[in-house]
Structure 1
Amino acid sequence: MNNFKKLIPLLLLAALPFLSSAQKANWQNLDLKKDSIFGISTEKAYTELLKGKKSTPVIVAVLDGGVDLNHEDLKRVIWINKKEVAGNGVDDDKNGYADDVHGWNFLGGKNGSIEFEALELTRLVRRDNVRFAGVTATTVAEKDKADYETYIKNRSEVEKELATAKSSLDGISGFKFVLDAVVKKIGKENPTQADFEAFKSPDQQETRVKEAVLDVLKEMDFKTFYETQIEEGVKYYTGQVKYNYNVDYDPRAIVGDNPDNSKERFYGNNDIKGPDALHGSHVAGIIGADRTNKIGVMGVADNVLIMGVRNTPNGDERDKDVANAIRYAVDNGAKVLNMSFGKAYSWDKAVVDEAVKYAVSKDVLLVHAAGNENADIDVENNFPTNKYLDGSLASSWLTVGASGPKDDETLKAAFSNYGKTSVDVFAPGVRITSTVPENKYIEEDGTSMAAPVVTGLAALIRSYYPKLTAVQVKEIIMKSVVKVNHNVSTMKGAETVSIPFADLCVTGGIVNAYNALKLAATYK
């Protein structure tokens, strides 16, 4: 949901106080032995294995909420469709998409683009509200009983989640109201820890807010906390109440397609940035932010072309858009697809399966984020998935969990989904600094950040070893992980438990660029 962009409580994040500022901005690319940080040894690979070697550009599609193609650290690596003449309103390359110079937006139309959407569960309830209008448990037809029972269960779930979202919105809005009053009394826009310590108030609410903020200021400055946790929190829960769990909200008229026709291919517009490109731009920077310009951050891969394909709103992506985004990327030359999105329900899994099979047949590697619910996706639904409806598996697909920087019990990111058979590998996904719109850089957390680390690695391998197939690249990445031979902490319900890292994923390890490139060199 929302590209897996969820509010992850600060207490769940591994702190990085032992890193220098330069290390923090690039920790995912550092080396465990050299730097004592569990990155993927990208810098070591460049220094010891790739120096002086030639590479070929690899097109990487970022299927997401939008990419800022003018960002200072991305503009040099944005894909350009050389067969298309910009701005002439003509489909010059006859691919069905006019003016798709840098990619395509399947969430747009003539008059704009979708920003917010309902969740798939909400859309299913909306559909079935019509189907079962006036029907009760006693009047439902025998042949419809199973569907009716599913509908009642889904409707109850939406109502429960909506109530929770309203309560959360009230809570964080109340906290913000009191906090704003405290900050006004302190008299500074960005008060320090010392300012809050010096603040005294007879009001119990203000005192409790002060104490909560002092805990947070051990990890970050006030401005960052206010913007990323308070303002984003209000926005997040407002979105849940107004859009995600609102059965009456349907923005699809903006696109102008028939959302129930999964076979429809040619709709949308060429605005790959869209109204909210934070998540997609962050993902793009992790993959391939310019390593030569000595500003900002450094992507994993040094010779990629980022294609923006917008298919994920602030809400759940539609299966139709996922399928079309995959097909568009494949047909326009992408060899690795990053998919940092997901949901618990699927409207039309078959159409996504068909698109995945198409990508596999065209030698494309698909990289998917495992999700941020701390759930075992061996048993919990997480779409899209590499498992087709017939039970067979996509051969060139990787599912990625998120890890932290320390090789200890905190290595598994507390929020990360896992699965001994469903998650392939883990990669850094805690406090990853990357590009966001308007030439800015922020830290983000999630399997959404771990997936592009692996996407970047896959692109790096394909760039220096272009004869390798997508299946071989997957095999290399999985065989070259750094195995983790100790237990990690995770939450099971309200209880913290210790489990072997080996039980979290197929490989039992963290991806490693140095190992992978050494192994790739042995393939013929």
Structure 2
Amino acid sequence: MNTVRKLLKIDCIEEKGIIGQDIVVAILDTGMAEHPDLKEKIILFKDFVGNREKCYDDNGHGTHVAGIIAGESKDRFYGRMNINGIAKGSQLVVLKVLNAKGIGIEDKVIDGIKWIIDNYEKYNIKIVNISFGTIHNNCSEMRLIKYVEILWQLGLVVVAAAGNNGPDIGSITVPGVSKKIITVGVVEDGKKVNVNGRYTSNYSGRGPTCECIQKPDLIAYGNNIVSCNNNYKLKKYTVKSGTSMATPVVTGCVALLLSKYPELKNIDVKRKMIESCKDVNLPANIQGAGVINPVELLGVK
């Protein structure tokens, strides 16, 4: 995370007092461990898989994602450096909808989304992070897309992964194919990295979608990201790669933006993010508008 924060000049943004304060992010994932960098960030945990009450993560994916968004080391050191997330002032609502293998049943995921629909006002949820997806041929009829778009219609900012099924055209995963939400690919996916146990390159999902919608909307850093480990008593941090890691980088940037401009509507958030991206001269179906650029996004000099 330190490398990503440096590339995105997050320290410069934090010097202006912008840390994602007062912004609540809902994470649909494998849960979250009570990691020391995260336990003060969580305001609610709900388990749709095992119906357990205590916060946990039997996979690690969700904890890693949460650390990218909101992790804050607070005098705890990894080597010589603190490991902080993009929006360390934000808070989290964690919904476990994926099992120990990182696999989810569509009904459980939709149950999690329905819970957000019913409770987003109560918990002041502004952003929903979805760092997973599935391939489906008839994407326009997917129930998951329907419910994700309800979240958007309610005014929430939904950020979803483009998926790791590239490099073929049309390899964006559901719900990232939705034209309404913000879909995130990976910068420099030509480099070989370990993605979910598979050593691969050129993996970031490519558009267009089956409805000829150009995706992804933008790309972010997602290779070899150091973030919170669910088995933190053994090893506090771990490395993961994929669009799952790029997505919370963008989510964190959305939290920074909304903490500075809380009145923004989700359509304005998406427009501002796209307009502020840095073009890296890749095809639009790979990079979208380009690389997330929070300094430009927030007008920080």
2:8 is the counterpart of 1:40: yes
Counterpart residue identity of residue 131, structure 2:
S
> What CA distance in whole angstroms lies between the structure 1 residues aligned with 2:47 and 2:240?
24
* Equivalent residue, structure 2, for 1:510: 291
Given that residues 219 and 288 in structure 2 are in contact (C-alpha distance below 8 angstroms), is that contact kept between their aligned partners in structure 1? no
Query: Sequence identity of aligned pairs in percent?
Result: 28
> What CA distance in whole angstroms lies between the structure 1 residues aligned with 2:54 and 2:271?
35
Alignment of 1:395-414 (within 5 A): 397-404=181-188, 414=202
Matched residue SS, 2:129: strand
* Equivalent residue, structure 1, for 2:72: 290
Cα deviation digits, residues 409-457 of structure 1 (max 9, x gap): 7599632222261211110011100001243101111111000000100
2:145 is the counterpart of 1:353: yes
Given that residues 419 and 505 in structure 1 are in contact (C-alpha distance below 8 angstroms), is that contact kept between their aligned partners in structure 2? no
> What CA distance in whole angstroms lies between the structure 2 residues aligned with 1:517 and 1:411?
32
Given that residues 10 and 86 in structure 2 are in contact (C-alpha distance below 8 angstroms), is that contact kept between their aligned partners in structure 1? yes
* Equivalent residue, structure 2, for 1:162: none
Coordinate RMSD, CA, aligned: 2.8
Distance 1:385 1:428, change over 3 A: closer
* Equivalent residue, structure 2, for 1:418: 206
Counting matched residue pairs gives: 276
Residue 471 of structure 1, CA deviation = 1.4
> What CA distance in whole angstroms lies between the structure 2 residues aligned with 1:363 and 1:64?
21
* Equivalent residue, structure 1, for 2:111: 324
Cα deviation digits, residues 127-149 of structure 1 (max 9, x gap): xxxxxxxxxxxxxxxxxxxxxxx
Alignment of 1:159-178 (within 5 A): none
> What CA distance in whole angstroms lies between the structure 2 residues aligned with 1:67 and 1:284?
7
Matched residue SS, 1:375: coil
Cα deviation digits, residues 125-170 of structure 1 (max 9, x gap): xxxxxxxxxxxxxxxxxxxxxxxxxxxxxxxxxxxxxxxxxxxxxx
Distance 1:323 1:26, change over 3 A: same
Residue 27 of structure 1, CA deviation = 0.8
Higher strand share: 2
Residue 511 of structure 1, CA deviation = 0.1
* Equivalent residue, structure 2, for 1:459: 255
Unpaired runs of 5+ in structure 1?
Answer: 1-24, 31-38, 80-101, 109-267, 388-392, 486-499
Given that residues 367 and 400 in structure 1 are in contact (C-alpha distance below 8 angstroms), is that contact kept between their aligned partners in structure 2? yes
Unpaired runs of 5+ in structure 2?
Answer: 194-200, 209-213
Alignment of 1:185-264 (within 5 A): none
Matched residue SS, 1:468: coil
Counterpart residue identity of residue 103, structure 1:
F
Given that residues 319 and 346 in structure 1 are in contact (C-alpha distance below 8 angstroms), is that contact kept between their aligned partners in structure 2? no
Higher helix share: 1
* Equivalent residue, structure 1, for 2:276: 480
> What CA distance in whole angstroms lies between the structure 2 residues aligned with 1:67 and 1:275?
8
> What CA distance in whole angstroms lies between the structure 1 residues aligned with 2:170 and 2:299?
35
> What CA distance in whole angstroms lies between the structure 1 residues aligned with 2:52 and 2:191?
43
Distance 1:271 1:291, change over 3 A: closer
Counterpart residue identity of residue 167, structure 2:
A
Matched residue SS, 1:504: helix
Instruction: List 4+ stretches of structure 1 deviating above 6 A.
Output: none
Residue 354 of structure 1, CA deviation = 3.3
- Tell which has more relative contact order, 1 or 2 (C-alpha 8 A, sep 6+): 1
Matched residue SS, 2:28: strand
Given that residues 319 and 347 in structure 1 are in contact (C-alpha distance below 8 angstroms), is that contact kept between their aligned partners in structure 2? no
Select the structure of larger CA radius of gyration.
1
Residue 275 of structure 1, CA deviation = 2.7
2:249 is the counterpart of 1:307: no
Counterpart residue identity of residue 283, structure 1:
V
Residue 371 of structure 1, CA deviation = 1.3
Matched residue SS, 2:67: helix
